[in-house]
Amino acid sequence: MSSPNWKWFIEFTHPTQAHMHGVKDYIYSGKTQFQEVEIVETDFFGRCLILDGKIQSAQFDEHIYHEALVHPAMILHPIPKRILVVGGGEGAVLIEILKHPSVEKLVMVDIDKEVVEICKRYLPSWSQDAYEDNRVKTYFMDARKYLEDNTEKWDLIFMDLTEPLDDSASYLLFTKEFYSLVVERLEKGGSIALQAGNFNPGLFQCHAAIYNTLKLVFKHVDSYGTFIPSFDTKWGFLYASLENTAFILDPAKIDEKLSERNIRGLQFYDGLTHVHMFTLTKDLRELRARETRIIEDNKPLFTY
C-alpha cells in the first residue's frame, strides 16, 4: 500500500520506463570526480548503492548478482590462481572470489577510490574483511591503462562495471579494442566474466552488441542471466574463454566441483542454478542472433 509519507527513488531504464523504490532514509549523497553516488535505505531491499541514478547492488539481493558474476567462471576454470577484477567498488566480488582456496593473487583496479571508501564506510558487509586479505591488492586508476602498462597475465578477469553511459568512465571498457587487450593479458585457458546489461527484450540490444564484440576475439562466448529483484528485471552476464573445452552444463559436475573446493554457504549458486542461468529462452536467442552491431572505440554503444 502506498503512503503519502514515503520518499521515492525513481530509476529510469528508458525514457518511458522506470522503477520506483520507497526510501526510508538517504544515508549519503555526493559526487566524485567520475560519478554521482547515493546510499539509500529502502523499505523493500534494504541499503542500496546507486551510481548515476542506477541501483548497482542492494542489501536484499547483492548475493545473487555477485555469486552469478563470479562462481560460474571460477568453477569452469580448473585451478584459478591469479585473478584480476576491473571495477568492483563494493568489494563483494572479492569476497566471492576468495571463497575458492586456489586463489593466490587477487588484484582489483577501480578508477574511483572515493566510491570504494564510501562503500567501506556505509556498506561494510559487502566487502567484509576482503581488503585486509594479504592476497588482495587494489589500484585506483583507469583499468585500460593498467592493462596497457602491465604485461602480467591472469587466469581470470572479472569486469564489474557500470553500464556504458555517454558520460561515464566505463564506456571504453566495452569495445573490441579493449577486449583484444584483455585477451593478451590472459594465461592459456584463461577466461573472463562480466555484467552485460538488461535481459528485458526491449532493452536487449546492449547485451547482444557486447556478445557480438566478444565473439571477435574469444573462441567461446556464452550469455547467461538471472532475475535480480532490486533491478526488477532479469540481468545479463557474459562468459568468454580462450578455449572451447572448459564449458560444463551438467549440474552434478558443478556441484562436485563446489564440493571439491569446500565452498559452502552460497545462497544462490549451485549446479541447477548454473544450468538455469545458461539456458536462454528462444526470444532472447533470436534477438541476439539478429543484432549485428560491434562496439569499437570510435563507435561506442551507450545505454540510457
Query: Catalytic: 160?
Result: yes
Q: What grid cell was written down for 248?
A: 560444463
- Which position among 160, 166, 232, 283 bears the catalytic label? 160
Which residues carry out catalysis? 160
